[in-house]
Amino acid sequence: MTHRFTDRTALVTGAGSGIGRAVALAFAAEGAQVVVAGRRREPLDETVALIEQAGGKALAVTADVTRSADIQALVDATVDRFGSLDVAVNNAGVLEAGGRPVADVPEDAWRRMLDINVTGVLLALQAEVRRMRTQPGGGAIVNIASRIGVHGRIPGTTAYAATKAAVSILTRGAALDHIADGVRINAVSPGASATPMSLRPGETEADRAERMKTDVPLGRVSTVKEIAAAVLYLASDDAASVVGADLVVDGGSTA
Ligand SMILES: NC(=O)c1ccc[n+]([C@@H]2O[C@H](COP(=O)([O-])OP(=O)(O)OC[C@H]3O[C@@H](n4cnc5c(N)ncnc54)[C@H](OP(=O)(O)O)[C@@H]3O)[C@@H](O)[C@H]2O)c1
């Protein structure tokens, strides 16, 4: 096992479940001290327990990414506890109104997705960059977008896809704005991954596995570990010259 993040501090939003938890565990396994954030305390405590059982160090902080005061408090708590913020992964996100064509997407669902998926990433980027640009080593940020933001071809997901396309363009522009500050910003765009979010309304995991055989060239969903591996690469010194990239991990769906 390589240890690319020894003595570094990584912050992961939405780390109480799914991809965010896998990312937090992967950073801890490679030596990072990890701060895990989300709205609900219990799943965050479970992530911390998993990290500590494996011999790592972690801190849970409840925060709603749509509130700038929460995000600033999260960054402050990270630095207070571990002394720096070297890596941040803006992963928190929601998919609502799945299965509905655009005309039937409720306004409140649209506004929630914009608020969490787009404003949440913007506010986090702002607070993270403000801290990282004061540190000698700068920092690395990875936003979680989606391959669904690359095209509008998946029925019933257009509103969500629009928010994820916004994350991709926010990533590219912010990367250029802040590379001179010593902050590298990139995105990972997962395709269908092994969490409940990729289940269609009423679909079981077995149904999804059957659908993947034809929907995805690879023939299956990506595992959360596979998504985490891409995030760790972009956050690591191996990717020192990778700036503003959007790394698609989707089993060939957008190839
Ligand atoms: N699974 C896929 O197939 C797939 C594909 C492409 C992209 N993605 C993206 O990958 C990311 C993770 O998805 P996932 O599948 O792992 O879903 P998930 O298990 O539902 O994880 C989402 C996490 O975000 C947190 N969260 C939601 N709203 C928040 C808020 N306002 N403030 C702070 N935390 C918030 C949730 O915790 P709380 O509810 O406790 O806050 C939860 O832990 C999302 O951005 C998603 O859009 C997923």
Q: pLDDT tens across 184-212, in order? A: 999 999 999 999 999 998 999 999 999 99
Q: Could you confirm whether 160 is annotated as catalytic?
A: yes
Return d(Cα 195, Cα 225) in angstroms, integer: 11
**Is the shortest distance between the CB of 195 and ligand 1 below 6 Å?**
yes
Residue 232 has pLDDT above 90, yes or no: yes
pLDDT of residue 16: 98
Percent of the chain with pLDDT over 90: 95
pLDDT tens per residue across span 141-163: 999 999 999 877 788 899 999 99
Alpha carbon of 184 to ligand 1 centroid (Å) = 23
Alpha carbon of 14 to ligand 1 centroid (Å) = 5
Q: DSSP class of residue 238?
A: G
**Closest ligand 1 atom to 39 CA:** 41
Residue 27 has pLDDT above 90, yes or no: yes
Beta bridge partners of 60: 36
pLDDT of residue 101: 94
pLDDT tens per residue across span 80-123: 999 999 999 999 999 999 989 999 999 999 999 999 999 999 99
Return d(Cα 105, Cα 80) in angstroms, integer: 42
**Is the shortest distance between the CB of 163 and ligand 1 below 6 Å?**
no
Q: Candidates 71, 94, 95, 115: which one to mutate for ligand 1, based on the most atoms within 8 Å of Cβ?
A: 94
Sign of the CA dihedral with 107 first, then 113, 118, and 120 last: positive
**Is the shortest distance between the CB of 194 and ligand 1 below 6 Å?**
no
For the domain 9-249, what is the CATH superfamily, name and number? Answer: NAD(P)-binding Rossmann-like Domain (3.40.50.720)
Compute φ and ψ for 90, nearest 5 degrees. Answer: -90, 90
pTM of the model: 0.98
Q: Where are the domains of the chain?
A: 9-249
